[in-house]
Structure 1
Amino acid sequence: PAAWDPDAVAALAAVPGCGPAQAALLFTGRPSGTHTTEDMAEVRELTGLTRTQIEAGEVRLTALPLDERFAVAAALLPEDLDTLGTSGLDVAAACAAWTERFGTLVRLPEDLDHVAVVGDLSGTEAVLNPARHAWLTRTTTQRLDDNGRVVADDPAALPGRESVTGAVVGLAALAYGLPYGHPLRARLPEGLAALRERLSDPGLLLDCGLSWAAEGRAATAARLRTAHGLPETGGAGADGTTRVGSAFVLHPWYGDQEMTLLRPAGLTGPDDPAIGLVEGFARTGAGSALRRIAAVFGDDLARALAADGGFEGFAQDPALSVPTLVDEVAATHGIGADAAVLYLQLLALPDPTDRNVARWTGWKPARLKKARAELAATDLVVEAKRSRAGRSLFLPGGWLALKSPALPVEGWKSGLYDVPAAGRAVPLMPVPELFARAWRRVCDGDVPAYEELTTRATRKGRRRA
């Protein structure tokens, strides 16, 4: 076997679109990642990388087409394997193979570990490189086959639900997590434009898990028919499907049941009544999927992706993004500017952990500690220890103790953005607007607080003589 050569690994890692963890996995012959504890231990020992770094590299590497990453790994081997022990691996050939296949791709660098790209990473990278993916560049006709299933004439051109929602959340996560001025931000509006164009196809139908109602095994089709004033049965067109409003299509399913498909082109945006209708009776998660798809047609996400703020740095630092609001909060509550910054972060953001606050603001530990102490002395927050919170200050009121990979968060914030139970909350609007919206709620009287229980006083019993 060839000796481990850190310089050779670094050379491949430096090729655009690659990185230390991905290069290490290729050099150790693991283009599909590690599969056992022993695999992980060996890669860690050879590279000095942490488990978290290696796992992040695995996610990025395995998002690439299988045959293409295997081709890069194969390029490392010299033509004459007998020379492997003396000449080593062919780094130049591997770099050339990577550049040929992935050199023009827009990829997420490994050093963006602070950006929580939730959902489908392959969907996120696909929407940043739409020309390489049929489901973003081609349309196809869908029809009922002999078995009553909706099939596509060109299956490669049909987007999957996870790819679409993963792309939306990925774009939103990048818009939220990337600092203003980062070069990758310039590609985000292009990705949204490609996604919007594909979802605007009037013939596109998606299975978004809308068919089953929240309770029992009842189908949603009957309720959709009732809500739209349609008869219990019938109404199918020549293609065998039934249009319900502009956003839903039904087709025969099991027995006398009907399956519900989404027609994305029929959605008008995040406030479309169809979303609330589905959330009222469909199973958990269906409403979130619909809301994410509808965000593609709204203005909030578009503004978030196009935002540059006129400054370089994190918009999550109110001192940079909304300085006048910081002054207003400080004056209203009689606190210093740093305490006001921290309060706005706790008020509006889904992930104001101590670590994130330090990264966003650039504060040293002593400054952050001082701001926390000043804010903790007010009745604006409560101080506590909560599992996986990553902080000690919280808004008063209900607490959503969500499980990983979701981050637990105050229930009050669910009025600002969707807080899914199975993933990280990612606001679909510009961060400066998020600060303003949260503060406006407070000024309008919707203040984070514990609910007061109102009980009826018991009547005193009559004293017996």
Structure 2
Amino acid sequence: MTAGELLAARAEVVTLDDHRVAAALDGLVDGLGYWSGKGALAGIERTGRYLAGTWTPATPDEGPGRAGEGSWARFIGRIGAVALRAAVEPTRDERRRPLLALLEIWADSPFAGSRAGMRTGLVRVAEGAPEAVRDERGAAVAVGWAAGGLRTFVDLRTGEGDPPGLGAIEEVTDVPRGGWGSAEQVRRLVELVRERGPVPWDLDAVAVLREGTGMGRAAASFALAGMLACGYLPRLDDRERKIHRLKVAEIEDGVREPGRMGSPDRLELVADVLPADPAELWEPQGMRAVAERIAWSWRERYGRRTLVPQRTFDAAVELQLSRLSAGRFCAAFTDHAAIRGLGSNLDTWIRNSEFRPFPTAEGWDLVDFEDTLRTVVPNLFWVYAELPAGDPVRAGAPGLVRALRERLDHPGLLLDAGSLSHAAGHTVADAHDRFGSRPYAGPEPLDVASVDDGLTVVVDGTVDRRGARSQPELYFRPAFYGDDDRSRTLLAARADSRYDPEVELVEWLRGPACARIVERIEGASLPSGSYETNPVLSAPDVLGQVVDELGVDEDAAALYLQLLTLRAPSDRNIRLWNGWKAARHQKAGAALVERGLVVEDKRARAGRQLFLPGEWIHAGKPYQPMEAWKAELLGVQRSYNGRLENPPPLPTRTLPELFAEAWHWVQGARKPSP
């Protein structure tokens, strides 16, 4: 018998034992590239039989065979995660079949129920040494491929003392015991799926999980299906999307929401959430009970996020944020103290790497802080303007701003400031006249030259394979950045900052525009549920001037101000912000058309029929197309191709100020015209 063959007892699953196994286990195992061949199910089965003493290789040096890189060994004591995915309706049949085959193999193995005396870990196997050993004390098997000279192993003690060894053990742990996954439970679940079909999907159970965790709807749906990771594209096929009731944008966002959960985290989350009697899954409340157990498991590990209104969450999804999911974005406002890097000060240092030195901190704290900083600050105006008063995300903005400022005031924080401009030089030595000659002193010596003036750290670029040296990199300590000579020196020495905006973000957070926006949010001028984008409520004085001068009613005046100033005054948004029905909206628009103040048209990605006269500028997604007049008012710059494809500038005015400025332009010689 060769290592790639299945035992005769499992010959019926030979056709399933290929790359489909990896697709079915996506997110629960690591190293999918190691799972691309055949024989994974065979290797798992023979490993179990070898440990149990019911299979002997044909030759002494023949092992049971390899299944991926060995991370499947984590299923021992946690097979409930695989069983959940195999049982539920959203799992496509081509993936369900190998999952059920694996579960059948598992039920007949010593892995089911996690026998006493079983361990897993990492072992350093000597070259040429056997991959499996067995004697009267027990057995040990090296599973998977080697990584860094280490192999995952599973051993089982059946006699006195430790089982025979494969080499030097570097890490070992007893497998979990007592949870879901006895041979009877696994076998019964497989029988029920084959007899009754998969467990019907329950959207109410998804709602239970969302309410119990604060997850977004897509992430909750994926968690309930046991598939918090979807690495394969397309993420879901048409049938799966219909079952989950999710749009493509929601799916893409939901895949990212769990953040940096690894396969062990996903396994642990749902390993013990199935009922003791699998038949309960098919009961009317069966999946809701599973949802409650997953919610409890999630809260034990990650806490509970504030539940935000579905409308707010959906709007955040539409932002198409690149660094944060909608759920993590909302949580930054509602639960900022629980966000890594925001709850306490960050001590950072510059470390070496094969590419270039860069700032780092313990764990992922600095990365999470930078992701938060670079996402929430550019979108803070959207939160202030387009979410209603009383919304938990909007209400949390002042606290988030204060938390960011506190972190930025910590002297131990270093952030990216971009690269040295060519005009300022090409090496650290060229920067001595600007930043001095004192080198950076950190926990580890840098491999390249550096200087540190207390605010700015300059480190030399690295040399690539062709011998070309990159420009020196600049890092700065926000705690010491301000209106002084060192700060002006940093600004003068930086190259184009478009892709390294941290300095500008720090300036804006500490500046007057941010302070006035926070003051507007904390003020009591808006009734709960109303929007700052409605000038009837946020700028009544300006609105009165428009009514008097144009001779229109309040509705038409409000709509005109909104078309003049707001980036996305779509029909849907206008009616939401103003509380209008379609007829009222159309009446206000007709009054503006009659006076020649706006024109009617249909334009791509506008979502409206009324436009200011004059040039229209197209935009690449996710940016908003708009009138050229409005782009100038808002300070939005065209890209090299004349389109709007650059990030919009940070705001300099509150909405009442912006309404007033737009009306000032109209009253002067700068009103919109063809």
- TM-score, normalization by structure 2: 0.56
Aligned to 2:74: none
Residue among 302, 311, 317 paired with 2:527: 311
Equivalent residue letter for 1:364: K
Residue among 271, 275, 291 paired with 2:504: 291
Distance 2:548 2:502 in 1: 40
Q: 1:58-91, CA deviations, whole angstroms, 9 ceiling, x for partnerless residues?
A: 45x3347456565444443345668756795533
Residue among 373, 377, 387 paired with 1:164: 373
Identity %: 30
Residue among 120, 142, 156 paired with 2:349: 142
Distance 1:409 1:275 in 2: 37
Between 1:15-24 and 1:339-348, the stretch displaced more is: 15-24
Q: Residue 341 of structure 2 aligns to a residue in which SS? A: helix
Equivalent residue letter for 1:259: E
Aligned to 2:243: 46
Name the structure where strand makes up a greater proportion of residues.
2
Aligned to 2:634: 416
Aligned to 1:222: 425
Q: 1:192-230, CA deviations, whole angstroms, 9 ceiling, x for partnerless residues?
A: 11111112233433225x2276xxxxx4643999xxx97
- Structure number with greater CO (CA < 8 Å, separation at least 6) is 1
Distance 2:572 2:566 in 1: 14
Q: Residue 250 of structure 1 aligns to a residue in which SS? A: strand
Give the Å deviation of 1:168.
1.5
Distance of aligned partners of 1:42 and 1:425 in 2 relative to their CA distance in 1, 3 Å threshold: farther
Distance 1:275 1:114 in 2: 41
Between 1:385-394 and 1:12-21, the stretch displaced more is: 12-21
Q: 1:317-345, CA deviations, whole angstroms, 9 ceiling, x for partnerless residues?
A: 11122122111112122322222111111
Distance 1:257 1:48 in 2: 49
Distance 1:402 1:318 in 2: 27
Distance of aligned partners of 1:290 and 1:410 in 2 relative to their CA distance in 1, 3 Å threshold: farther
- TM-score, normalization by structure 1: 0.78
Looking at CA atoms only, which structure, 1 or 2, has the larger radius of gyration? 2
**For structure 1, which runs of at least 5 residues remain unmatched after alignment?**
214-218, 451-465
Give the Å deviation of 1:268.
4.2
RMSD, matched Cα: 4.0
- Asked whether 1:106 is paired with 2:299, we answer no
Aligned to 1:457: none
Aligned to 1:302: 515
Distance of aligned partners of 1:449 and 1:252 in 2 relative to their CA distance in 1, 3 Å threshold: farther
Distance 1:134 1:8 in 2: 29
**For structure 2, which runs of at least 5 residues remain unmatched after alignment?**
1-86, 88-197, 441-448, 463-468, 638-643
Aligned to 2:458: 250
Q: How does 1:24-35 map to 2 (within 5 A)?
A: 24-33=221-230, 35=232
- Asked whether 1:394 is paired with 2:611, we answer yes
Contact 1:32 1:58 in 2 (8 A): yes
Distance of aligned partners of 1:196 and 1:400 in 2 relative to their CA distance in 1, 3 Å threshold: farther
Between 1:73-82 and 1:308-317, the stretch displaced more is: 73-82
Aligned to 1:456: none
Distance 2:357 2:479 in 1: 21
Q: 1:422-460, CA deviations, whole angstroms, 9 ceiling, x for partnerless residues?
A: 55777465322322233234445443446xxxxxxxxxx
Aligned to 1:372: 589
Q: How does 1:42-121 map to 2 (within 5 A)?
A: 42-59=239-256, 61-63=257-259, 65-66=261-262, 71-78=268-275, 88-89=286-287, 90-106=290-306, 108-112=308-312, 113-115=314-316, 116-117=318-319, 118-121=321-324
Aligned to 1:235: 436
Distance 1:276 1:374 in 2: 53
Q: Residue 207 of structure 1 aligns to a residue in which SS? A: strand
Aligned to 1:4: 200
- Asked whether 1:437 is paired with 2:661, we answer yes
Distance 2:649 2:434 in 1: 39
Distance 1:366 1:171 in 2: 32
**Aligned length, in residue pairs:** 436
Q: Residue 475 of structure 2 aligns to a residue in which SS? A: strand
Distance 2:460 2:376 in 1: 30
Aligned to 1:264: 478
Aligned to 2:335: 129
Between 1:398-407 and 1:417-426, the stretch displaced more is: 417-426
Distance of aligned partners of 1:36 and 1:149 in 2 relative to their CA distance in 1, 3 Å threshold: closer
Distance of aligned partners of 1:104 and 1:302 in 2 relative to their CA distance in 1, 3 Å threshold: farther
